[in-house]
Chains A and B, each alone.
Chain A
Amino acid sequence: MAFNGLISATVFIPTLGALVIAVLLKKNSHVFLFARFVALLNLILSALVLFSYQISESTDKFKLVDKYEHWIPFDSFKVQYYLGVDGFSAPLILLTGLLTAVAIFSSKNITHKIKQYFICLLLLETAVMGVFSSLDLFLFFIFWELELIPMFFLIMVWGSGRKNYSAMKFLIFTLISGALILFGILMLFASTKTFDITLLPSLIKEESLLIPMSIMFFVFFIAFSIKLPVWPLHTWLPDAHTDAPTAGSVMLAGVLIKMAGYGLIRICIGLFPESVSEYSFIIVILAVINVIYGAVITMRQTDMKRLIAFSSVSHMGFVLLGVAAFSGSYDDKVTGLVGASLQMFTHGTITGLLFLLIGYIYEKTHTRYIPHMGGLVHQMPRLSVALTIAGVAALGLPGTSGFISEIIIFIGAFPVFSWFTAIAVFGVVLTSAYILWMIQRIMYGPKLDRFEKTLDASVYEMIPVILLIISILFVGLYPSFITGIFKNGIIQIIG
């Protein structure tokens, strides 16, 4: 039994906050204030997690460990309460803290069921933080499933458009992914008698498994593919994004789909490295399809949110590409995986920012239909600058974090799969085409009369925007800080 407490606090303070909102607070204004307070507190805590990880001198694989071995103390079904971080998860925890704060701060125009709204967002934060820090597979699964409920309600209750359909679709796809994970971890438990992520890699051998390792790998791979999402299992994502409220989209694109990338690296690579190498050609083909197919379809979108949603499909293909580099030399492996994990981080901030900005624009113009827009730079100079920065970051311009993660992935994957990577690199050209075209159609051109009275974002609304821009530029201009941390984690996972 070890107890540090910091990581447990980071995971459960949002739940505590949600409880306080549910039970104690009556006035709406108090709910707003308190939710912001909790979000900010947790942002600080998650930064502290990263900081403590950095300065910790412990040589263990996982640091800041909170462990209680007898949580479910049956010998035949031993589940531990086991949280901790390594270099791979610590930055993702910070990402979660950052984006939840952004989501909560930007939600100032919620008009109905305010209490429930913030409770959902805070529970969502607990779930995601839990996924990133669980070192026990069963605990991991509990958090994985917990994420489903608040997100379902966020789309269903505060969404727009075909929200019931989209929420159900999201629910069913995620449930299937959860069922596969449950099946997988129970099979693992049946074979090894433990859920402990730190012990499992040494216990898993082909002969000790009840079913062949490659099947185990595919069970998990498909589960995470649904969530990432990987073609052709991606169809829930554009619908969920389009109909979710702004904060929901920010969370969904920013952190929820990163849980899948996290699972891919932590579980698929951590536990079944041989299978990943063996089937990396399937992974790379899917990666290229994701990148190109996503980008080409993005070109045809006329709804701002749907456009960014499909661009996410394209960008998550790069994560997959980095994972595919796993069949290469040790150097290529490390490079590819560091790139993939950095891509998760940068995509979280960049696409989170894009959804946030588009949410603002939608709030102010009451339209998301791109052909109806234009010339908004005249009314919204601030949002226009911010959208340009987010856009060039998304298309991987040097100086922004998007470039760093993409180039690292390419450097890792190109020596392993030259031709496939070359095709994926062309995705960068397509990305610049759809991003610049979108910015042009929304922002530029002559002033339109129907947006005469449209307002720019207020200074308050710009705070989360600036926060995200700073993080994008920081990683873009000084990448070695965060890549160093990711690298520590990745090297330990590869072993």
Chain B
Amino acid sequence: MEQILWTIFFSPLLSFLILILIFKPFFAKMDRLSSLVSIFAISLSTLLSILVLLDLSINQRVISFNPNEFLVIGSLNFGISFILDELTAVMLVVVTSVSLLVQIFSVGYMSQDKGYIRYFAILSLFTTAMLGLVLASNIIQLFVFWELVGLSSYLLIGFWHHKPAAVSAAKKAFIITRIGDFGLLLAILYLFVQKSIFIENSLNPIMIQDIIFAVNQGYLSDFFVTLFALGLFAGAIGKSAQFPLHTWLPDAMEGPTPVSALIHAATMVAAGVFLVGRFFPVFENSVIAMNTLAITGGVTAMLAALIALSMNDIKKVLAYSTISQLGYMMLALGMGALSASIFHLFTHAFFKALLFLGAGSISHSTGTFDMNKMGGLRKIMPWTYVTFIIGSLSLLGIFPFSGFWSKDEILSGAWSNSGIVSNIAFYLAFITVFITSFYMFRAIYMTFHGEFKGGISKKDLHESPSVMLIPLVILSIASIFIGFIINPIISIGFIPSHWFSDFIGHGGVKSHVNIFSNWFVYGATLISLLAILLAYQIYILKNLLLIKFIDKFTIFRKILINKYYFDYFYEEIIVKKVFLNSLAKGLNWFDTNIVDRVFGAIGWIGLNMGVLLRQIQNGQLQTYGSIVSLGIILIMIFFMFL
């Protein structure tokens, strides 16, 4: 088993190295071959990952391997080793399969690009880092890959480095996630404060399993557990773009669209959810941490969905939708519904990747992401249209699409808890269903229905090539069926009922929800349909009454278009006004005009003392004589008084 895991991990790494060290410098012309190498490598990983998942589901066990020597500090060994549990196995499949489909799609999408090899190389690097992240058995190793994932994201957002917006977005993404990582790093360092407790119990403070064991056994104080969990959560907030560190994700849409699908929708942004899932027992031991999760998730889900209402860029709509859905996952975690959260992560990865690739397919034809320059595309791009609808219905959580199953598990998870936090979380999640349905169908109507309003000639519009459509179709199939298949309410064939819930949440309490027994399942579908109808009235039928009604809320719209002024506050106030132009400018002035001047002044005094003393050395015997006598007198006085 260990060899298989190493192969899964090394296969994309090898592809990265081959592309960057052999193809890029020596065979820059053979770019198609380079993508084949990359796709072959990721196919191998995908296949093995599925095998690992199957194997693990039959022989349920958690495997951790002996660490290899990497770094020994003091009494601790920071070895590299892998852990294989249910969460890892699921994540392996998500990461490799979406990577594979996105790479296939990219062959078509990026075919004209000059940086073709570089693009595939960084994609391979990203997959490697993401696999390392989900396989990591100790928290330092996890942090290493966590940061490397961030690096690949930086390189891919700024892939078109001639575009200043892309480079700025890349920098912004890296720095904002690093602010979250600051919390994560402090949490890691905090473990070392408790080092002696771990060592007394012959545990290693960096091994994830040992940390969880120590928390479950109550070796660590509640205060410690809460602070540690909040530190981890800070990292998750940055990576999973939760409020208030969400601002980087919409800007990250400057990167190539397949990258947005893979990194900024399906996998990397889910890493925050994964992190919390990985340390879930730690969170469960702290009420404060759980409530923070739930409220942050709920607020993010709602506020991001509201912004999505006002966006005219289709990728931005999808970006805010992603933030909102990640909020759902965080909310579920805060409700203790680990399996529901990971289930939603799983289904979301497929339908959101599908939607992004659909948006990529649209722009491949229209050359834009601005929905005001689209319209009527459903006749020209039928495949894209149908698959996009499937992805949207899944996102909305319409029966029987895969999103239905996972979203309603989250609602059930929130409903079954009592307490004010759970109530707030539930209603936030419930209302967000309505908003989600509205903005998605607003986007669909603006893009695919009505008349084409674009700048280019209608003759230039075309359906995308089959290399791009095949991934769309595969993802559509997944978006329809996968939710029901992996977590059916009754056993079908060899798949037992509630397989996924049992698999992830083994030993947990929240499994086996019969979602059809709850009112809100029907309620959610109802308000979803209502929202679709409303969008239809406004954007297709142009119902004047409704449009006039909406126009009354211009202030509200202005706030939404400005994204609650978060970006303005961060960039203009904090970074420019407070930091660069006050603090940094002031310190710089202090450094050049005070600190440096002080030493200049000391030098000046030294110089002038020299000038003064030089007056005495005038070569006249009288002067010397009088000074000598003065000296003798002084010495005599000194001794007389001694």
**A residues engaging B (CB < 8 A)?**
172, 231-232, 235, 293, 296-297, 299-300, 331-332, 334-335, 338, 375, 377-378, 392, 397-399, 403-404, 407-408, 410-412, 414-415, 418, 421-422, 425-426, 428-429, 432-433, 436-437, 440, 443-447, 478-480, 483-484, 487
Which of B71-79, B285-293, B321-329, B498-506 faces chain A?
Answer: B71-79
* Sampled A-B contacts (19; CB under 8 Å): A232-B595, A232-B598, A296-B587, A299-B580, A300-B584, A411-B189, A414-B189, A425-B186, A425-B189, A428-B178, A428-B182, A429-B175, A429-B182, A432-B174, A444-B162, A445-B161, A445-B167, A480-B70, A483-B72
Q: In the assembled complex, which residues on chain B have CB atoms less than 8 Å from the CB atom of A335?
A: 73-74
7 extra A-B contacts, CB within 8 A, seeds A436-B154, A479-B70: A398-B145, A404-B71, A414-B193, A415-B195, A418-B190, A425-B186, A478-B70
Contact yes or no, B162 A437, CB < 8 A = no
Contact yes or no, B185 A446, CB < 8 A = no
Q: B26 interface residue, CB < 8 Å from A? A: no
Contact yes or no, B587 A334, CB < 8 A = no
Q: In the assembled complex, which residues on chain B have CB atoms less than 8 Å from the CB atom of A428?
A: 178, 182, 185
Q: Which of B127-159 contact A (CB under 8 A)?
A: 140, 143-145, 147-148, 151, 154, 158
A479 and B591 in contact, given A235-B599, A299-B584 (Cβ under 8 angstroms) = no
Contact yes or no, B182 A397, CB < 8 A = no
A235 and B69 in contact, given A432-B174, A445-B164 (Cβ under 8 angstroms) = no
The 8 residue pairs across chains A and B that have the minimum distance between CB atoms: A398-B144, A331-B74, A414-B189, A444-B167, A300-B588, A235-B596, A444-B161, A436-B171
Docked CA distance A437–B588 (Å): 18
Chain B 579-612 interface 0/1 with A at a Cβ cutoff of 8 Å (1 = within): 1100111011001000110110001000000000
Q: In the assembled complex, which residues on chain B have CB atoms less than 8 Å from the CB atom of A377?
A: 161-162
Q: In the assembled complex, which residues on chain B have CB atoms less than 8 Å from the CB atom of A172?
A: 603
A479 and B71 in contact, given A445-B167, A446-B164 (Cβ under 8 angstroms) = yes
Q: In the assembled complex, which residues on chain A have CB atoms less than 8 Å from the CB atom of B178?
A: 428-429, 432
Docked CA distance A415–B190 (Å): 8
Contact yes or no, B148 A411, CB < 8 A = no
Docked CA distance A399–B144 (Å): 7
Chain B 198-232 interface 0/1 with A at a Cβ cutoff of 8 Å (1 = within): 00000000000000000000000000000000000
A375 and B151 in contact, given A299-B579, A422-B186 (Cβ under 8 angstroms) = no
Q: B192 interface residue, CB < 8 Å from A? A: yes
Q: Closest residue of chain A to B154, judged by CB?
A: A436
Contact yes or no, B71 A300, CB < 8 A = no
Contact yes or no, A411 B192, CB < 8 A = yes
Contact yes or no, A436 B148, CB < 8 A = no
Docked CA distance A392–B170 (Å): 13
Q: In the assembled complex, which residues on chain B have CB atoms less than 8 Å from the CB atom of A412?
A: 73-74
Contact yes or no, A297 B588, CB < 8 A = yes
Q: Closest residue of chain B to A374, judged by CB?
A: B164
Contact yes or no, B189 A397, CB < 8 A = no
Q: B560 interface residue, CB < 8 Å from A? A: no
Docked CA distance A487–B579 (Å): 40
Q: In the assembled complex, which residues on chain B have CB atoms less than 8 Å from the CB atom of A432?
A: 174-175, 178
Contact yes or no, B144 A403, CB < 8 A = yes
Choose from A232, A297, A403, A479 the contact partner of B587 (Cβ within 8 Å).
A297
| CB of B185 to closest CB in A, whole Å | 6
| CB of A228 to closest CB in B, whole Å | 15
Docked CA distance A162–B63 (Å): 64
Q: B179 interface residue, CB < 8 Å from A? A: yes
Docked CA distance A452–B269 (Å): 40
Q: B365 interface residue, CB < 8 Å from A? A: no
Contact yes or no, A300 B74, CB < 8 A = no
Q: B312 interface residue, CB < 8 Å from A? A: no
Q: B168 interface residue, CB < 8 Å from A? A: yes
Q: Closest residue of chain B to A330, judged by CB?
A: B74
Q: In the assembled complex, which residues on chain A have CB atoms less than 8 Å from the CB atom of B185?
A: 410, 425, 428
Contact yes or no, B167 A440, CB < 8 A = yes
Docked CA distance A443–B164 (Å): 11
Docked CA distance A287–B175 (Å): 23
Interface range for B: 35 or more
Q: Closest residue of chain A to B140, judged by CB?
A: A407
Q: In the assembled complex, which residues on chain A have CB atoms less than 8 Å from the CB atom of B140?
A: 407
Q: Which of B96-155 contact A (CB under 8 A)?
A: 140, 143-145, 147-148, 151, 154
Residue among A232, A338, A437, A478 with most chain B CB within 10 A: A232
Q: Closest residue of chain B to A414, judged by CB?
A: B189
| CB of A108 to closest CB in B, whole Å | 23
Contact yes or no, A392 B161, CB < 8 A = no
Docked CA distance A379–B182 (Å): 36
A483 and B168 in contact, given A414-B193, A425-B182, A444-B161 (Cβ under 8 angstroms) = no
Q: In the assembled complex, which residues on chain A have CB atoms less than 8 Å from the CB atom of B145?
A: 398
Contact yes or no, A398 B74, CB < 8 A = no
Contact yes or no, A334 B175, CB < 8 A = no
A436 and B74 in contact, given A425-B189, A444-B161 (Cβ under 8 angstroms) = no
Contact yes or no, A480 B144, CB < 8 A = no
Docked CA distance A403–B190 (Å): 18
Contact yes or no, B144 A297, CB < 8 A = no
Q: In the assembled complex, which residues on chain A have CB atoms less than 8 Å from the CB atom of B584?
A: 296-297, 299-300
Docked CA distance A191–B164 (Å): 65
Contact yes or no, B179 A483, CB < 8 A = no
Contact yes or no, A429 B193, CB < 8 A = no
Q: In the assembled complex, which residues on chain B have CB atoms less than 8 Å from the CB atom of A293?
A: 587, 591
Q: In the assembled complex, which residues on chain B have CB atoms less than 8 Å from the CB atom of A429?
A: 175, 178-179, 182
Contact yes or no, B189 A331, CB < 8 A = no
Docked CA distance A443–B158 (Å): 12
Choose from B72, B161, B603 the contact partner of A484 (Cβ within 8 Å).
B72
A397 and B151 in contact, given A436-B174, A444-B164, A446-B162 (Cβ under 8 angstroms) = yes
Q: Closest residue of chain A to B594, judged by CB?
A: A232
Contact yes or no, A480 B72, CB < 8 A = yes
Q: Closest residue of chain B to A446, judged by CB?
A: B162
Q: In the assembled complex, which residues on chain A have CB atoms less than 8 Å from the CB atom of B579?
A: 299
Docked CA distance A11–B588 (Å): 40
Docked CA distance A235–B71 (Å): 36
| CB of B52 to closest CB in A, whole Å | 25
Docked CA distance A378–B160 (Å): 12
Docked CA distance A489–B3 (Å): 37
Docked CA distance A189–B502 (Å): 75
Residue among A375, A398, A484 with most chain B CB within 10 A: A398
Docked CA distance A338–B78 (Å): 15
| CB of B189 to closest CB in A, whole Å | 4
Q: In the assembled complex, which residues on chain A have CB atoms less than 8 Å from the CB atom of B144?
A: 398-399, 403
A415 and B193 in contact, given A425-B185, A429-B175, A480-B70 (Cβ under 8 angstroms) = yes
Q: In the assembled complex, which residues on chain A have CB atoms less than 8 Å from the CB atom of B192?
A: 411, 414-415
| CB of B188 to closest CB in A, whole Å | 8
Contact yes or no, B73 A411, CB < 8 A = yes
Q: In the assembled complex, which residues on chain B have CB atoms less than 8 Å from the CB atom of A297?
A: 584, 587-588, 591
Q: In the assembled complex, which residues on chain A have CB atoms less than 8 Å from the CB atom of B168?
A: 440
Docked CA distance A444–B162 (Å): 6
Q: Closest residue of chain A to B68, judged by CB?
A: A480
Contact yes or no, A480 B71, CB < 8 A = yes
Contact yes or no, B190 A414, CB < 8 A = yes
Q: In the assembled complex, which residues on chain B have CB atoms less than 8 Å from the CB atom of A411?
A: 73, 189, 192
Choose from B147, B162, B182, B583 the contact partner of A378 (Cβ within 8 Å).
B162
Contact yes or no, B69 A480, CB < 8 A = yes
| CB of B78 to closest CB in A, whole Å | 9
Q: In the assembled complex, which residues on chain B have CB atoms less than 8 Å from the CB atom of A483?
A: 71-73
| CB of B527 to closest CB in A, whole Å | 42
Docked CA distance A399–B599 (Å): 41
Contact yes or no, A418 B193, CB < 8 A = yes
Q: Closest residue of chain A to B69, judged by CB?
A: A480
Q: In the assembled complex, which residues on chain B have CB atoms less than 8 Å from the CB atom of A480?
A: 69-72
Residue among A235, A392, A418, A444 with most chain B CB within 10 A: A444
Q: In the assembled complex, which residues on chain B have CB atoms less than 8 Å from the CB atom of A414?
A: 189-190, 192-193
Docked CA distance A356–B73 (Å): 32
Docked CA distance A52–B69 (Å): 23
Docked CA distance A411–B78 (Å): 12
